[in-house]
């Protein structure tokens, strides 16, 4: 099988992201330690984020607003203006944080861009994701960039149509079973799962419920060899 378009998720596939969110969550728990234990702060924050997704979508600005709401709720409104400014400043720091590529990303993307058409395909805040791509230093290797508000099977079908590739010519590479792997397969594409060290609870999928077939690699650095193997298999047939 020859893939004519390889799409990469960005957050936690090309660069670190979830670890930064979790670090800020710990700071929020520390800020509220006189009111509630850390586990409860994190549970209420997740509940607020989940409630707000339909209005705020994904991204750091929505996360920041959800942190503020959680702090107000958990202190029954007693949180002070200075503490809320602190929370906004965490959000601003996240938005400006240096983009840290995962191991092997630069080499793999550089190499594959010579043999394949590469796409960056990410959900989240348009402004934030464009800014991260610009700061990543690897933008030039992607022939196309698609930033979408949600990644479901219909999103993948639309992307394939817009870029004129058949489903069996499309490969998705990402860390999220829920957003990258299962919907890409549902749209007829292929998928390679590369787990990240941390997963946002919202993206969690119970693997025992999955019947789809996809490859799983430990590192993006294994992708070129995996692709070469797919090519061999096609020649043998």
Residue 11 binds to a copy of itself (criterion: CB under 8 A): no
Cα distance between residue 207 and residue 8, in whole Å: 21
Residue 153 binds to a copy of itself (criterion: CB under 8 A): no
- Span 80-99, contacts to a copy of itself by CB under 8 A: 80-82, 84-85, 88, 91-92, 95-96
**Contact region for a copy of itself (CB under 8 A) — 37-45, 121-129, 192-200, 201-209?**
121-129
> Would you say 75 and 35 are in contact if contact means Cβ atoms under 8 Å apart?
yes
Tokens found for residue 153: 């099977």
Sign, CA torsion 89/198/123/174: positive
Nearer to a copy of itself, 96 or 236 (CB): 96
Q: Return the percent helix, strand and coil in the chain, to nearest 5.
A: 55, 15, 30
Q: DSSP states of 148-177 as a string?
A: ES---HHHHHHHHHHTT--GGGEEEEES-I
Residue 69 binds to a copy of itself (criterion: CB under 8 A): yes
- Span 28-57, contacts to a copy of itself by CB under 8 A: 52, 55-57
Q: 42: which residues sit within 8 A by CB, 6+ positions away? A: 25, 29
Residue 71 binds to a copy of itself (criterion: CB under 8 A): yes
Residue 121 binds to a copy of itself (criterion: CB under 8 A): no
Angle value at C-alpha 103, between 191 and 139, nearest 5 degrees: 70
Residue 5 binds to a copy of itself (criterion: CB under 8 A): no
CB of residue 70 vs a copy of itself: minimum separation in angstroms?
11
The site that binds a copy of itself (CB under 8 A) totals a number of residues, namely: 38
Cα distance between residue 17 and residue 151, in whole Å: 17
Nearer to a copy of itself, 11 or 125 (CB): 125
Q: Which residues bind a copy of itself (CB under 8 A)?
A: 52, 55-59, 61-62, 64-65, 68-69, 71-72, 75-82, 84-85, 88, 91-92, 95-96, 125-128, 130-131, 147-149
């Amino acid at each position: 099988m020859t893939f004519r378009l390889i799409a990469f998720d960005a957050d936690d596939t090309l660069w670190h992201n979830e670890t930064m969110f979790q670090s800020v969550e710990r700071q929020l728990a520390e800020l509220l330690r006189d009111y509630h234990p850390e586990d409860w702060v994190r549970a209420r924050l997740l509940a607020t984020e989940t409630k707000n997704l339909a209005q705020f979508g994904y991204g750091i600005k929505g996360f920041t607003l959800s942190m503020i709401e959680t702090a107000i709720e958990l202190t029954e409104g007693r949180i002070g203006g200075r503490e809320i400014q602190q929370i906004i400043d965490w959000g601003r720091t996240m938005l400006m944080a240096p983009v840290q590529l995962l191991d092997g990303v630069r080499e793999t993307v550089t190499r594959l861009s010579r043999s394949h058409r590469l796409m960056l395909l990410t959900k989240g805040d348009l402004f934030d994701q464009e800014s991260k791509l610009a700061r990543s230093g690897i933008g030039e290797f992607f022939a196309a960039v698609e930033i979408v508000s949600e990644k479901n099977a219909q999103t993948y079908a639309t992307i394939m149509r817009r870029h004129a590739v058949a489903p069996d010519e499309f490969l998705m590479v990402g860390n999220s079973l829920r957003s990258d792997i299962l919907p890409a397969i549902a749209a007829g594409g292929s998928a390679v799962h590369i787990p990240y060290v941390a997963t946002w609870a919202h993206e969690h999928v119970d693997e025992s419920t999955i019947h789809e077939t996809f490859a799983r690699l430990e590192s993006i650095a294994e992708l070129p060899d995996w692709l070469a193997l797919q090519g061999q298999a096609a020649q043998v047939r």
